[in-house]
Amino acid sequence: MARSKKYSELSIDTRKHKSTAREQFPTQSLAMSSHVHLPKQSFRDNFNLVGPQINAEGVHVWPFDASCPIDVLFLTETGRHNVRMNRHQYFEILYLCSGTADCHIQDRLLAFNEGDLAIIGSTLYHRIECRSSSPVTIAALFFEPDLIRCDGSSDSVEYVTPFCLQDSKYPHIVPAKTGVPRQVLEMMMRIRTELPASSPIARLTVKTYLKMILVLLVKQYASYTGSVETFQRQQRALDRLLPLFRYLGENCGDAIQVYEAARLCGMSESHFMSFFKRVTGLSFMKYLNQYRVERAQLLLASTDEPMTSISHEIGFCDQSYFGMVFRRVVGMTPAAYRRRFRNTNAADCGQMHHTPSVASSRYPLLEAPKQVATEISRPHATPHTKPDLHKVGT
């Protein structure tokens, strides 16, 4: 996306919240200083950690602890090789510890500055791109909504409303000046001290801190009006593209034209092109090239396969064309990329617990908040079973 594109205007509640007592943590001080000092050894390269777990659908799958599906990570983004546009079934909160970045969400470009918070739901394709000369550092909180919903309380869904009503004008960035981001970061650090949450007390503590974060966000977005239909409409749009994503995952090396992709989705070519860009934020061919190039990056960094074999394996019959596309996406030639990242990427990937299997997992649709709808019928579904979706009751 061109840098010259104007940033989307944000319309958020900037009411100041009362300051609360701040706990001092053993690893760092979270006093109101200009910078957040976090242990360097905790930071992981965003591309190496996230990239290998993005499937053909552009869905990032994170290996949560099943008993307590929440994680706090420290990520660094250099801008040398960005993670491609992706989404995930979990919810995500990002605190920008240092640097400046662009937050790409669908076809929007939002300024993400030091001390800001980004709130990302489960249906929107997005990525973070470094804008500063030095790497950006990010504290990230991932959690599955079922962690809050599973307690069965009648108001549990109210906690996650800020993640469910994200339409095309949603103010994803909470500025540092509101005071909310720093309070959220403090709760994130408290959660981190309890992980892995191996005991009932630890799990209860983690859920309590998470709810404290969510209450801050619910208050922050209280003035924002949205509709649960937004969430349902986005989910239906993603479902229409599933046949194409499944095909790409199984046949990445095969040639596929736009008209064939449109046919897989049951659309006309012109409708497919506009629909695909609206849903993913990218044209189909750009999405396909980025997916293939990311596959090539992983192969270059973790194997000794010759360049010719890699280019054919990911769907480029001409090695020179592969090199041109790779350089346009990554900013360097495939050979230069292999020389620079061969050992680093292999080491980072080797530190993962495991690499989750590629699957288009589905979680039950979030219930509508009381002020938005009276009822949504939501039958139970396992992570690999798509639930029946019903319209909002009146």
**Coil, strand or helix at 90:** coil
Is pTM beyond 0.85? Reply is no
Distances 127 to 81, 189, 219, 329, 376 between C-alpha atoms, Å: 12, 23, 26, 14, 31
- pLDDT for position 391: 31
Rounded Cα–Cα distance for residues 159 and 355 (Å): 30
Give pLDDT tens digits along the chain (394 positions): 444 443 333 333 333 333 333 333 333 334 334 455 566 677 888 877 887 788 888 899 999 999 999 999 999 988 776 788 899 999 999 999 999 999 999 889 999 999 999 999 998 999 999 998 888 999 999 999 989 876 656 667 789 889 988 888 899 999 999 999 999 999 999 999 999 999 999 999 999 999 999 999 999 998 876 655 677 777 888 889 999 988 988 888 888 889 999 999 999 999 999 899 888 888 899 889 888 888 888 888 888 899 889 988 888 888 888 999 888 888 888 998 888 877 654 444 434 333 333 333 333 333 333 333 332 233 333 333 333 333 323 2
- pLDDT for position 378: 32
- pLDDT for position 367: 38
- pLDDT for position 210: 96
Rounded Cα–Cα distance for residues 129 and 84 (Å): 10
Can you read off the two tokens belonging to residue 73?
Answer: 């990570």
- pLDDT for position 17: 37
Calculate the CA 306 to chain-centre distance. 32
SS3 breakdown of the chain: % helix, strand, coil, rounded to 5? 40, 15, 45
Give all domains of the chain, ordered by start, each with its CATH number: 40-226 (2.60.120.280), 228-281 (no CATH), 283-351 (1.10.10.60)
- pLDDT for position 344: 57
